[in-house]
Structure 1
C-alpha cells in the first residue's frame, strides 16, 4: 500500500480574512486550527501569523511563539512547519512611477531577520520560497534573490531545521537543485509544488507532470493547487507519488458556496486518500522519513 502525509496550511498571508470568517488570525485561533487539523489527520501544520486585531500578515516573533507554544502544549503533536517567506515583498508605486515603492504591501528585510522566528522557536521544518515572481494582479512581486536564498539556506542548515523548498515555477526547481548541489540544503530534500498561483506554474496536468518529472527521485515532494482545484490535487499529488497539502491558506471552500474550516479540508483529504487505499502517515512517520530534529 502506498502512503502519503497531509500538510495543513492554516492561514497564510493572503487577503482572505475578509472573505471568510473561518480564517483564523489571532495566535489562539491559529493554534486551535492547527490542533484541530492534527486531530483530523494532518501530520504537518504550516504556520503563518497575522495581526490579531486587523488580520493583516505579520512577522512578529512573539505571535509565532504563542502559536507554537499552544500547539506544543496541547494533546496533539504535529510536525511544526513555519513560513520563512515573509520579508520578501515588493509593491511598486505605479505603472508610470514604479519608484518610490508603495509602503503598503512592501516588506523587505535581510536574510537573518527573515529567520528571527525560526532561530527563536526552532521548528522541525521551515519554508524557503525558491525564487521571485509576479504574484497575482497589480504591482506586487515576491522577491527572493539567489544570494538571499543561499544565505537563508545556509542559516537554516546551521540551525538544524529541515527546509521545505516551495517551488512556484520550473525555474524555482532549477534553483533548488543548485542550492542542493552547493551543499546548502542537505538530504533528505523536501519540496512543495505550489500550483495555480498567478503568474507561476498553472495548475494543468501537463505543467504539473513536467514539474514532477524533474524532481530528483531521492527527493520527497508534496503538491497543492490554490482555489477550487485544491481537493482535486489531493488525489493528483498522491497518484503522482507525492504528499498533499490543504488548508485555508490556499482555498476557502469545501463545496460550491460552502465555506470550509481547516478541519473540514483535512477531513475531506483523509476521505479522498482513504478511498484510494493510500495509507495516511502520522507525524512520527514524517519525522522518521524526513529525519527531522525535535527542539524544545
Structure 2
C-alpha cells in the first residue's frame, strides 16, 4: 500500500513573528515545496500571502506562486479556497478559475478559534458545480461529523464526481477535538470508496498522524498545521515535518506515493502533463 504525503507549507494563520522560517512570498513557498517534494511529498496544498504577509486571494499572486512551484518540481498542485478568515467567499472561490489539479471545498460555516469561517451552503454548491465544469478535483475539508453529512449530500446531488477525497481536520477550536475516538468516528462516516487524509492541528499532530496512517489514511505535514517538531522545539521550516511523516509511514511498512502514483489514485492528470495548464 502506498501513502500520499501532502505538504502544507504556509496556511492562513501563522506569521513570521510566530516562526521566522514560515514561507510567505511566492519564492519562499516554491522553495519550501521543492524541498518537501525531495523528501517524498506528492501534493502541495497552497495558501498565498500578500507583500505584508497577509492571506490573499489575489489571482496574480496565486498564479505566480503556482508557476514557481511547477518550475521547481513536478508535484501535484492543490489550491486552498479557504484562503484566510475574513476573506470574502466569492473572492476565495475565484481561485478555482486558475484550474489547478485540486482545490479545497469547505462544506460548512463554522467558528474557527475566535473568528467565523464563512462557507454558506448555496455558495458551496455553486463552487462544487464550477469545479466540476473546470475539471478541478475537490478536496473535501471536514472539521466535524456534520460536515461529512453535507459532503454526502453533495455526492448524492451529483456535484462530486469520481472517488471523493476527504481531509479530516481535527484540533481547531470550533471543530472536533484531535482525539483517536473522533478520528475513528469521522472515518466510519466516509463512503466506502473515499480517499482520505488526516490533518491534526497543534499538539496532537504527531500522534494523530501516526494513527491516521495506521487506519489506512494519507497524511499532511507542514507549518500550516504545527509550528513545532516536538514540545518546546520550534520547527525550522517544513522539511523536518515532511521527513517525519514519511518516516512514520515507512515505519508502518507503507511505501511513499510519487506524484504520478497519487494522480492515478485520485483520477488526475499526472503532474508533469499538467505543467502548462495554468
Task: Please report the TM-score for the alignment, with normalisation by the length of structure 2.
Answer: 0.94
The one of 176, 191, 212 aligned to 2:187: 212
Between the aligned partners of 1:15 and 1:85, the Cα distance in structure 2 is 15
Please show how residues 18-97 of structure 1 align to structure 2 within 5 Å: 18-52=17-51, 54-74=52-72, 76-86=73-83, 89=85
Q: For the pair shown, which has the larger CA radius of gyration, 1 or 2? A: 1
- The alignment covers a number of residue pairs equal to 271
Residue 236 of structure 1, aligned match among 191, 205, 211 = 211
Contact 1:231 1:246 in 2 (8 A): no
1:129 partnered with 2:109: no
CA offsets 1:67-120 (integer angstroms, 9 cap, x no match)? 11111112x211100001137x4xxxxxxxxxxxxxxxx33242xx43333213
Looking at structure 2, the residues matched to 256 and 172 of structure 1 have their Cα atoms a distance apart, in angstroms, of 31
Counterpart for residue 95 of structure 1? none
Unmatched tracts of structure 1, length 5 or more: 90-105
Q: Distance in 2 between matches of 1:285 and 1:144?
A: 32
Q: Could you tell me how far 1:3 is from its partner in structure 2?
A: 2.2
Taking the aligned partners of 1:17 and 1:194, their CA distance within structure 2 comes to 23
CA displacement, residues 171-201 of structure 1 (integer Å, 9 cap, x when unaligned): 1000000001100111111010000100101
In the alignment, is the contact (CA less than 8 A) between 1:22 and 1:259 conserved in 2?
A: no
1:292 pairs with one of 261, 268, 275: 268
More helix by share: 2
Per the alignment, residue 266 of structure 1 pairs with 242
After superposition, give the CA deviation of every residue in 1:132-152 in whole Å (9 maximum; x if it has no partner): 111102xx1111111010000
Partner of 1:225: 200
Q: Does 1:114 find its partner at 2:111?
A: no
Unaligned runs of 5+ in 2: none
Q: Aligned equivalents of 1:114 and 1:135: distance in 2?
A: 17
1:171 alignment counterpart? 146
Q: TM-score, normalised by structure 1?
A: 0.88
C-alpha contact (below 8 Å) 2:11/2:224 kept by paired residues = yes
Q: Is the Cα–Cα contact under 8 Å of residues 234 and 273 in structure 1 kept in the other structure? A: no
1:183-198 to 2 correspondences below 5 Å: 183-198=158-173
Q: Is the 8 A contact 2:82 2:106 kept in 1?
A: yes
Does 2:261 correspond to 1:282?
no
Q: After superposition, what is the alpha-carbon deviation per residue over 1:215-252, rounded to whole angstroms, capped at 9, x for unaligned?
A: 11101000121112112222111111110011100100
Partner Cα separation in structure 1 for residue 46 and residue 259 of structure 2: 16
Once residues 54 and 221 of structure 2 are traced to their aligned partners in structure 1, the CA distance between those partners, rounded to angstroms, is 21
Q: Do the aligned residues in 2 keep the contact of 1:233 with 1:244 (CA within 8 Å)?
A: no
Deviation at 1:255, TM superposition (A): 2.2
Secondary structure of the residue aligned to 1:107 is coil
CA distance in 2, matches of 1:82, 1:285: 19
Stretches of 4+ aligned residues off by more than 4 angstroms: none
